[in-house]
Structure 1
Amino acid sequence: MKSKKQRLKTLEEIQQLRNNLSGLLGNKKAIDPKGNYVTFEVRDNNHLLTQIISLLEVCVFALDGDGVMLFPANQNASKEESVVQVLELVLSILPDSQMYFLDQLDEILSNPEN
């Protein structure tokens, strides 16, 4: 069984990981001041995952579908170019920082000897 000191150290490690978290659900301190950003609200990681899945489903439908899905004012773009833009958006909103945090947290919590 862990001593109180060991548990406190583990909690401090978890808090340090959380403080270093960046990305959509993380620290606002991590935002690069040189860039321009568009933000959107998500309730939690599950909501973010749902949004990413929806964007990917739209890409699959656009590439498989026979219909024209382009905005009339943007007829010069191909559906492939539009899908590439959506996929680039998906890549930019992937919660990689949150996933790293959860992996580290899982490692800490799955090893009771620490």
Structure 2
Amino acid sequence: MKSNDLNRIKLETLQDIGASKDGLQKEKNNRHTLRLANIPFDDHTSYLLKVTALLEVCVLALDGQGDFHSKMLSHHDLDTSVKMVLEVVIEMMPHDDMFKLKKLLTVLEEDIDNRYYPEKLKELIINSNHEKEKDIEKAK
């Protein structure tokens, strides 16, 4: 294999690694440049397991059964570490996914009285029920 071909393959490999969305990614805001951490999960089960594990670590640390801070950050106390992890857990919670799940369940269960039920669909169902009642009355 020629060295040019090998270098081209190496460059393509490096570009693929650099284009990966895992790890820290820069995101520019109006004033600041933030770094967003992308963590890969296999499915919702592994996602919830990792969030639960973080919460369990906080419980153990608060019970005094675990030493939670690293030696590099020895000037921080245990409560600060626990607060930081709890903030991360709160940010990781799938609030939007849970809201979507509630909406899906209300539509599938046809729970018209639920506040998450879509208004347009509710109107269509009510109108179709009225038309069915009129058809039944005409048939009598």
Task: Give the TM-score, by structure 1 length.
Answer: 0.65
Over the aligned positions, Cα root-mean-square deviation in angstroms equals 2.0
* Residue-by-residue CA offset, 1:4-52 (whole Å, 9 max, x unaligned): xxxxxxxxxxxxxxxxxxxxxxxxxxxx752420010111111111011
Question: Does residue 67 of structure 2 align to residue 68 of structure 1?
Answer: yes
**CA shift in 2, pair 1:108/1:33, >3 Å:** farther
Deviation of 1:66 after TM superposition, in Å, equals: 4.6
Q: Which has the higher contact order (CA 8 A, sep 6+)?
A: 1
Higher strand share: 2
Larger radius of gyration: 2
Residues 67-76 or 39-48, more deviating? 67-76
Structure 1: gaps of 5 or more residues: 1-31
**CA shift in 2, pair 1:102/1:74, >3 Å:** same
Deviation of 1:61 after TM superposition, in Å, equals: 0.5
Structure 2: gaps of 5 or more residues: 1-26, 113-124, 126-140
Task: Give the TM-score, by structure 2 length.
Answer: 0.54
Q: 2:68·2:81 contact (CA, 8 Å) conserved in 1?
A: no
